[in-house]
Structure formats: structure tokens, C-alpha cells
Amino acid sequence: MRRWICCLIVFCLLLPIRFLHGEAETSDPAYCIKPAGADLIVSECRSDEWLNIAGMTKLPAVLTLCKAFDKGLIDENAKIAVSAKAASAGGPSAYLERGETVAASELIRAAVMISAGDAIIALYEHAFGSEDVFLNNIELVMKNAGVGKQLPDCFGTYMTFSCKDLIAFGETALMSPTFMKYCSQKYAVLEHASGRKTELASANKLLTTLPGCVGLFTGSSKSDGYCGIFAAKRGDTTYLCAVIGAQNSRERFALAAKLTEEAFANYKYVPLCSADEPLIESYPVTGGDAETVDLYVKDPYSVLTSRSDGAVQKRVDLPETLSAPLDPEYSVGIVSFYDANGDLICERALFPGLAIRATGFRETLLRILRAFFLE
């Protein structure tokens, strides 16, 4: 009997923890989805939690290189010699050989499509000289994206990031013509001078299965799970979706596709007012050196509404005409936005787009005479 009891104890000790406690070894994946360019979250789960993201730690480095292309610091036609350090890089690779010369455009394609470490190193050595200088530039790009972290190296080895961090990087990626040029490519071939060919195949299966998908970046490892930041555009709306820690590739893509489809199906992203475009054009002005003026808001505002909701209503509180003088720093009225139920969404002050001077009797008479004789 004692022998059986001992065997039972040993068997229980060898059982996986998940069977002893009735819990899964891993938690559900973290995720976050939002419309690009707006501080609005559609759906999220553990989106602020810092997690391991596998090879996606290279994304800040790739974004920094793409910005160097965007600014003309790297010429895509430049021929770049591959160093021993670049050729020996581990992880995803474009299989570059020491001493070979490769076009910069082919290297950045490999960096964006498959996060090729050898291509990243070859490019930063050409553009920035040293890893320290490159690292400073990476951290500046991250800071501008709203992610203030220090990296141990240019690949961000062992660094943790949140879904919201990935979303911030996704916003940066969408603004880079170079990144967007290559992140939506599904397949390419890098031809080496020796005649060898390296096939570059994007791991982002949503490029072919999710309507409107334009990228962006994926990563995976046995310990960190399957991660990705994805963007899909339909009409005037683009959604960004980040996933960290999926159990497998299928779960990663299925979750991102589900969240994106639900966002497009159930919500409308409505930019109510922009600081860059006039909300009201050619509003009448009296007693000034201009007869009309465009009116702007200084604080833009967007709203995410259900597709079943009615249209947003706008009400303007302004005098029938504006009287000069007018100064762009002083408000001349108020614009209010209401939902379909009549509830206030937001209010914004209206400002003239330019300064208008008041004119006296002489200036007014001259303007009338000028208009009369020019007709």
C-alpha cells in the first residue's frame, strides 16, 4: 500500500501545473484596436501591460531607417557593402554575405518585409556609422511616437512593450512613405551579385485575407507567442490593431481580423473639426480691409459613434456679420456638436483665420469707388 501511495504522490508532482490548478499555462492574448489618427479606443484587453513581443522589438529600428529614406538621408539607389557584423546577424535574414554589395532599396525591403537583421545592420552602418548613433536616433523616433524607453541595443533585445506602444509605432509607420511602400508587399526576390536569390515572403497573411489590409509588422517566438500590428483602410477610415501573445499564427490573424471587421461594421469614425481646415468658409465681415474671413477651431475633435446612431448635428453661435478689427488669437463665436439624441458632444471656439484691420471712412469710400469702376 505504501508503494502505491508513494507512486501517486510522485505522479501528482509530475503533473503540469495547469492540471493541478485547473488553469491554462498562458493567458489570453492582449490586444487593442483604434482608428488611426484619433485618441479613441474601440476595443482593448490588457492594452497597457508591458509584454514580450518577440522579433517585433526590431520595429523601432526599421521605422528609423525608413525615416532616413523619407528624409533623403539614404538614397535607395545607393550600393551598400555588407560588413562582417551584418553578415553574421542572427534571426530572420536576407542571407547577405560579407563583402557583397546590395542596393539600399533591396535592403530596406528585406528589413520591412521580414525584419532581416543583416539588412538592418548594413543600412545603419551606411547611414549612421555606429550602433550608438543609430540607437540615439531610434530612441528619438520612439520618443516622438510617445514611447519613451531606452533600448539595450538597436534590436531592442528582451525589451517589453504594450499594445498601445505598438499602436503608436503603427501611427508612425502609416506616416512613412518608405515603410508603406514595402509593408504591403507579399513576396519579393532579392537578387545577389553572385547570382544567388533570396526569397522574401511576408508573414502577414491578412494582406490576402482581410479586405483593405495594408500591413504592417509581425513577430513570433516559442516563448513570446505570436504578435503583430496591422492596419486596414476602407474609405476614409483606417484602423490599427495590435495583438500580443497569441498561441499560434492562426489565432493571431483570426483575432486581428475579427476585431477589425467588427470595428468597420459597427462604428463610424467622424472627424468633427480639424485645426488645418476651415470649419466655416467666407464668413461676412464689415468695416474691415477684407469682406470675408474663414473661421477655424484650434482644438480638433473626432468621435467614434455606432453605425446605428443618427448623424451628428452642428450648431453655430455667431453674429450675422463680424465687425473688424479681427485677430486670429481672439474667438468670435462658438460651434457645438450634438448627437442624434440632442446631447452635447463637444464645443469649440471659432477663430478668424487671419487678422483684419478696421478701415475708416476714407478707406471705405476708396474701396466702394474701386469696386464701382472695376465692374
Last residue of a domain, one of 271, 292, 312: 271
Q: Does 153 lie in the same domain as 35?
A: yes
Q: Does 192 lie in the same domain as 307?
A: no
**Backbone CA torsion sign across 230, 185, 196, 64:** negative
In the chain, the amino acid numbered 347 is E
Does the structure show a pLDDT above 80 at 308?
no
Q: Does 257 lie in the same domain as 176?
A: yes
Within a domain: residue 87?
yes
The better pLDDT of the pair 110, 368 is held by 110
Q: Does 350 lie in the same domain as 222?
A: no
Residue labelled with grid coordinates 537578387: 191
Nearest Cα neighbor of 216 from 274, 172, 270 is: 172
Q: Does 307 lie in the same domain as 239?
A: no
DSSP character at residue 157? T
Does the structure show a pLDDT above 50 at 25?
no
Tell me the average pLDDT of the chain. 89
Task: Count up the domains in the chain and report the number.
Answer: 2
Helix (H, G, I), strand (E, B) or coil at 70: helix
Domain that holds residue 345: 274-374
CA gap 30, 9 in Å, rounded: 37
Does the structure show a pLDDT above 80 at 345?
yes
- Give me the pLDDT at residue 361, please: 60
Query: In what helix (H) or strand (E) does residue 190 lie, and over which residues does it extend?
Result: strand 187-191
Q: Does 63 lie in the same domain as 153?
A: yes
- Give me the pLDDT at residue 89, please: 94
DSSP codes of every residue in 84-100: HHHHT--SS-----TT-
Q: Does 262 lie in the same domain as 117?
A: yes
Last residue of a domain, one of 256, 271, 286: 271
C-alpha cell at 133: 548613433
- Give me the pLDDT at residue 174, please: 97
* CATH number, position 311: 2.60.410.10
Q: What is the pLDDT of residues 138-154, one digit of tens each?
A: 999 999 999 999 999 99
Per DSSP bridges, beta strands 280-286 and 322-323 are: parallel
Within a domain: residue 53?
yes
Neighbours of 327 (CB within 10 A): 13
| pLDDT-based confidence at residue 339 (cuts at 50, 70, 90) | confident
DSSP codes of every residue in 234-246: ETTEEEEEEEEEE
Within a domain: residue 48?
yes
Nearest Cα neighbor of 233 from 213, 215, 247 is: 213
Backbone angles phi, psi at 62, to 5 degrees: -65, -40
Q: Does 301 lie in the same domain as 240?
A: no
Helix (H, G, I), strand (E, B) or coil at 287: coil
- Give me the pLDDT at residue 263, please: 95
In the chain, the amino acid numbered 206 is L
* CATH number, position 120: 3.40.710.10
Predicted TM-score of the model (pTM): 0.78
Ramachandran quadrant class, 54 (left: phi over 0; alpha: psi -120 to 50; beta: rest)? left
Last residue of a domain, one of 249, 271, 293: 271
Q: Rounded to whole angstroms, what are the CA distances from 137 to 69, 83, 355?
A: 14, 21, 40
- Give me the pLDDT at residue 213, please: 97
| pLDDT-based confidence at residue 19 (cuts at 50, 70, 90) | very low
- Give me the pLDDT at residue 46, please: 96
Within a domain: residue 19?
no
The lowest-confidence range among 64-73, 242-251, 333-342 is 333-342
Does the structure show a pLDDT above 70 at 106?
yes
Q: Does 281 lie in the same domain as 259?
A: no
Within a domain: residue 1?
no
Q: Does 349 lie in the same domain as 330?
A: yes
- Give me the pLDDT at residue 310, please: 79
Q: How far separated are the first and last CA of the chain, in Å rounded?
A: 116
The lowest-confidence range among 179-183, 201-205, 248-252, 302-306 is 302-306
Q: Does 301 lie in the same domain as 259?
A: no
